[in-house]
Structure 1
């Protein structure tokens, strides 16, 4: 990055990895920069916005992420294709950045609401279970009434089954 007189730099399709060097802004005479179709990752260094002579830029088809630096020179590049195929990039001329902290906070808030819902449902089921059975075992008259009700229901079910059996037997005769 000490080649201050360098005007054109094309390193496309070279399988470059890692990030764009932070001191790329030292290339003050750079007019054209093509780093497309590599495996570059990380953010675009803010020093790239310091390149006043830059007229051509291509950072497409990499793994770049984060906000595109703002600067008077970078604002002249309005064609979004120079940043295409970098799914993590955002800001002008691409879509606005959604704050990851706001997104994470919203997700955590939804997770907490879901957790509280499950806690209340489980607590309600446990409370209802023990209230129901506790009352039956503590109040003798209610327990007898409950058992009488269950016996009556069993009797009705048995009577209906016997009646259905007799009806079907009569039909077959």
Structure 2
């Protein structure tokens, strides 16, 4: 059974998403199930490592923190764009050393930083443990450094490492 459905939650999620995006009919269910089964088999062929969560209780705090930061960042970016040429452009790149080593936690940090308007994860150097980040409004590098280290990295390390 696990060969046919190696990732049952992924399969169910993909079928559900397929039906939400198309129409609820038997034909669409069959097509969605076929797509989900092929995707699950492709995922199984990659042999991803299973994440090990140490602190489940902190996941809610992480979600609330990220959602709050996304809303706040949307407002800040909109304010900057609406001000137009009245405000000088202060975007830039910065390198942040990370202590985080868990691949799942690093991937989650990449998603968080890229999903937050005004920031983009550009590169991660695994040998040096450094992150290259682009910030749309880089006024104070120390503020961004502290934000990522204390707000995200510390929390992700508690959850995953």
TM-score range for the pair, normalised by the shorter chain length: under 0.3
- Choose 1 or 2 for highest CA Rg: 1
Where relative contact order (Cα < 8 A, 6+ residues apart) is larger, the structure is 2
So what's the TM-score if we normalise by structure 1?
Answer: 0.19
